[in-house]
Amino acid sequence: MALIIQKFGGTSVGDVDRIKNVARRIKSYVDAGNQVVAVLSARAGVTNELIARAKQINPHPDEREMDMLMTVGEQETIALMAIALQSIGQPAVSRTGAQAGIVTDFEHTRARIVEISGGDIPLLLSQGKVVIVAGFQGINKHGQATTLGRGGSDLSAIALAAALKADICQIFTDVDGVYTADPRVVPAARKIHEISYDEMLELASSGSKVMQSRSVEFAQKYNVTFEVRSSMNDNPGTLVKAEVPSMEDVVVSGIAVDKNQVKVVVSNLPDSPGVAAAIFEEIGAAKVVVDMIIQNVGREGRANLTFTTSNEDAHRATVAVDQACKKIGGGNVQQSGGIAKLSIVGVGMRSHSGVAAKLFKTLADASINIDMISTSEIKISVVIDLDKADRAARLVHSVFGLDAK
Amino acid sequence: MALIIQKFGGTSVGDVDRIKNVARRIKSYVDAGNQVVAVLSARAGVTNELIARAKQINPHPDEREMDMLMTVGEQETIALMAIALQSIGQPAVSRTGAQAGIVTDFEHTRARIVEISGGDIPLLLSQGKVVIVAGFQGINKHGQATTLGRGGSDLSAIALAAALKADICQIFTDVDGVYTADPRVVPAARKIHEISYDEMLELASSGSKVMQSRSVEFAQKYNVTFEVRSSMNDNPGTLVKAEVPSMEDVVVSGIAVDKNQVKVVVSNLPDSPGVAAAIFEEIGAAKVVVDMIIQNVGREGRANLTFTTSNEDAHRATVAVDQACKKIGGGNVQQSGGIAKLSIVGVGMRSHSGVAAKLFKTLADASINIDMISTSEIKISVVIDLDKADRAARLVHSVFGLDAK
């Protein structure tokens, strides 16, 4: 008998029929001899509706009250799911985040979990009940409801799996698992059978949107093995787990393309100590997330600085740099789009040499110019022209032996 | 400075604009120097929608899960109201029933309040905040959300007023107050300035639907003065309070007509001990609420028994009586509608004689036949033909000096 934590997102519980479907799926796991704790999101769209209603009243609503408001969505789905399970003869009971003992810090709307007791869940499981837990929400030590921010329900599920020492945590989603590349771009992409936390994190930070990084980090910290799989079919998904030696046999596990990139070039900077610091302090204060950074010395002792950021942050970044340049007394800022970041990820890179050279040669042979390069222990990223990104991804996918047979 | 508890129903918080209106009204009381705790219902229709969704999944959903589901409605409105108050510069904070320390028994969907601490409401008030509390809901001693059943938000407000020793509790509703009679039937009806708990209870049980009896009983038990007034205008409403001697000066305070009545006649019963008990045991087991009862001995030592009940309960009542007759070995049951109950209510009846005679004479002079009579210390009810009920109400209203000048 295994203890399984299952997480179902907002689309999976989007209406009464889908709730019934999920109930049948949960019951099939119980019938097979498992104990199940299911973590649910709000119905798709509900949280956004609530936010819209609040913003009609006040464009900048109080975050404590927003949490009081937003916890409503999951509370509805957990009660309906418990009722659906009972109606097919499966004893079930719902628990809010607070009742499940998910204790967070005091940061409303983006709280962090500080401890998790599980409440009476072990007792309920021992009574043969399925326990349905509200995802995305917790309670702080003042007894106030909090929410965990984007991707919060995944985090609830993984944290519960850690607290309850579950055998496995299944994240049911609208994709089949983690793929070697986006199948819409690379038709030969394959589902990955298993992948390490580090690889999953590098893929996420490189534009593969299966899960939020912090859920994966949490799983890694507490060594929770989880599976990303489809809520629409019974196919096995992708296991995300601690690295095992055999994983290094695969040089490249996956490829990610991030098209949501803008390049900011700051040229003609005085080449003196503290210039870069001054610029990135200003950028940090503007809450801009910077991705790749390259600095080199140009002609006549003037320095150039280039970095990439997301489309959303690009304008704020340019304004911040402009301000920094005025303080520094020099430098011109220029922003340009039309770029994409291609990344290859794999723990095998640690033990295999020549990976970077193979990547660069592949692109060069296809006349694809490399604009920027950045590397980590298990990832190599290059910035290239946006209109060549898809072709590059297909070529690289094939060269590194990822294509489906 | 007074402490005021204000209760707003589902229509008053039915959409964003109405929520803003209520927020302005609450603020006006604070600006006038008062402390305010506002108790809210769910948006009109929301609770019924949630129930409908649950019943689509399971026609007989688990009551614990129904409570988890239904508490959602108030949680939404309290958060939005707090946000609305903050947006007009009034510090405000929301509290669920659980956070307000409204502790109930374990009867899900119709819980009774067993104690009420008020939580941190006094502290919040002392900080200059308006506290918005979710009506209709509480928490049991196992930490599970409960709901208080029909009229539950009124009860929450009155219970909080008792716990916090409020100066007054205002029940904002869609009527202007309590009237001497239904103005749609008696155009000369007047709003009552103040009324005793007992009179309010007798009017409620006689078909005047302003408030549920149990809220009035709770107010009486804890001596909470409350005001029923309109959420649409600023007119003073009706004060419901402990009886004071001057109230006895008014012989009749109000008139109620209940048209939702059915008469059940059980004839030809053996006139032996235990027959009535046998019949009403069966009726009680069928959860039929009986109103008036009359028993008399007919010809040849056979007894007749007549009682009234509501339209909803009439069929179950007849079936139950039929069953009882079979057990007793005698009796025929017959059910008839087309009747109405007219009641006059007033604490002044205690000290004024001749009230009944005056009522009976008024009806006799108008050729209105009296079918049944029932009296209490402060009420006289008569059953008459349905089609004469409205005319009777206008006559009686005038005779007892209730008509507006």
Q: Do B69 and A79 touch (CB under 8 A)?
A: yes
**For B385-396, how does the pLDDT look when each residue is reduced to its tens digit (9 = 90+)?**
999 999 999 999
CB-based contact (8 Å) between A143 and chain B?
yes
Three-class SS of residue B25?
helix
Would you call A126 an interface residue with chain B, using a CB distance cutoff of 8 Å? no
- Kindly list the residues from chain B whose CB atom is less than 8 angstroms away from the CB atom of residue A87: 57-58, 61
**Is B264 within 8 Å of chain A by CB?**
no
Q: Are B204 and B217 in contact (CB under 8 A)?
A: no
Q: What is the pLDDT of residue B298?
A: 67
CB contact under 8 A, B69 and A56: no
CA distance B91 to A164: 40
Q: Which CATH number fits domain B3-173: 3.30.1330.60, 3.40.718.10, 3.40.1160.10, 3.30.300.30?
A: 3.40.1160.10
Interval B230-244: pLDDT, tens: 988 999 999 999 998
**Do B251 and B348 contact (CB within 8 A), yes or no?**
yes
How close is the nearest chain A Cα to the Cα of B60, in Å? 9
Which of the pair, B395 or B245, is modelled with greater confidence?
Answer: B395
The DSSP letter of residue B42 is: P
Q: Over 70: is that where the pLDDT of B130 sits?
A: yes
CA A380 to chain B, closest CA, distance in angstroms equals 47
> Tokens for A395?
């070529």
Tell me how close the Cα of B250 comes to any Cα of chain A, in angstroms: 48
**pLDDT at site A287:** 86
Residue B205 is predicted with a pLDDT of: 73
**B53/A16 touch (CB, cutoff 8 Å), yes or no:** yes
Looking at mean pLDDT, say which of A132-141, B278-287, B333-342 comes out highest.
Answer: A132-141
B positions 27-66 inside 8 Å of A (CB) = 50, 53-54, 56-58, 61-62, 64-66
Q: What is the mean pLDDT of residues B375-402?
A: 94
User: Under an 8 A CB cutoff, do A82 and B75 touch?
Assistant: no
Partner-chain contact B75 A72, CB within 8 Å: yes
pLDDT of residue A53: 94
* Residue A353 sits at the chain B interface (C-beta within 8 Å): no
Q: Can you give the pLDDT at residue A298?
A: 67
The minimum CA-CA distance between B208 and chain A, rounded to whole Å, is 35
DSSP B300: G
Provide the whole-model pTM. Answer: 0.85
Distance CA A123, CA A107 (A): 31
Question: What does the pLDDT read at residue A250?
Answer: 86
In this complex, the residue of B50, B57, B86 whose CB is nearest that of residue A58 is: B86
Give the alpha-carbon dihedral of A18, A21, A26, A32, to 10 degrees: -170
pLDDT reading at B250 higher than 90:
no
Fold identical between A3-174 and A255-399? no
CA B347, CA B247: separation in Å to the nearest integer? 7
Would you state the CATH architecture of domain A255-399?
Answer: 2-Layer Sandwich (3.30)
Question: Any CB–CB contact under 8 A between A94 and chain B?
Answer: yes
User: In Å, how far are A194, A197, B36 from A243, measured between CA atoms?
Assistant: 10, 7, 59
Contact A19, A27 (CB under 8 A): no
Kindly determine whether residue B79 and residue A54, on different chains, have CB atoms separated by under 8 Å: yes
Distance from CA of A116 to the nearest CA of B (A): 17
Task: Provide the pLDDT for residue A139.
Answer: 97
For chain B, the domains span 3-173, 255-399
Which one of B65, B67, B124 makes the best mutation probe of the A interface by having the most chain A beta carbons within 10 Å?
B65
Contact A57 B16 (CB under 8 A): yes
Residue B218 has pLDDT above 70, yes or no: yes
Cβ contact B57–A143 (<8 Å): no
Distance (Å, rounded) from C-alpha A223 to C-alpha A226?
A: 9
Domain spanning A3-174 has what CATH number? Answer: 3.40.1160.10
Q: Is the pLDDT of residue B275 over 90?
A: no
Q: What is the pLDDT along chain A (405 residues), one digit of tens a residue?
A: 899 999 999 999 999 999 999 999 999 999 999 999 999 999 989 999 999 999 999 999 999 999 999 999 999 999 999 999 999 999 999 999 999 999 999 999 999 999 999 999 999 999 999 999 999 999 999 999 999 998 899 999 999 999 999 999 999 998 889 999 999 999 999 999 999 999 999 987 776 777 888 999 999 999 999 999 998 899 999 999 999 888 888 889 999 999 999 999 998 888 887 888 889 999 988 888 888 888 777 667 788 889 999 998 999 999 999 999 998 888 899 999 999 999 999 999 988 888 999 999 999 999 999 999 988 889 999 999 999 999 999 999 999 999 987
Q: Please provide the average confidence, as pLDDT, over all residues in chain B.
A: 93
- Residues B24-67 have pLDDT tens digits of 999 999 999 999 999 999 998 999 999 999 999 999 999 999 99
Confidence class for position B212, pLDDT limits 50, 70, 90: confident
Are the Cβ atoms of A76 and B72 closer than 8 angstroms? yes
User: Which of A71, A79, A143 has the CB atom closest to B65's CB atom?
Assistant: A79
- For B61-112, how does the pLDDT look when each residue is reduced to its tens digit (9 = 90+)? 999 999 999 999 999 999 999 999 999 999 999 999 999 999 999 999 999 9
Q: Which residues of A touch B64 (CB under 8 A)?
A: 93
- Residues on chain A touching B21 (C-beta within 8 angstroms): none
Question: Measuring CA to CA, how many Å separate B382 from each of B77, B306, B399?
Answer: 43, 14, 16
pLDDT of residue B242: 94
Give the per-residue pLDDT at A381.
Answer: 93
Provide the shortest C-alpha distance from residue A13 to chain B (in Å): 13
Please say if the pLDDT value at position B149 is more than 70.
Answer: yes
Closest-approach residue (CA) in chain B for A20: B57
Kind and range of the H or E element at A363?
helix A355-365
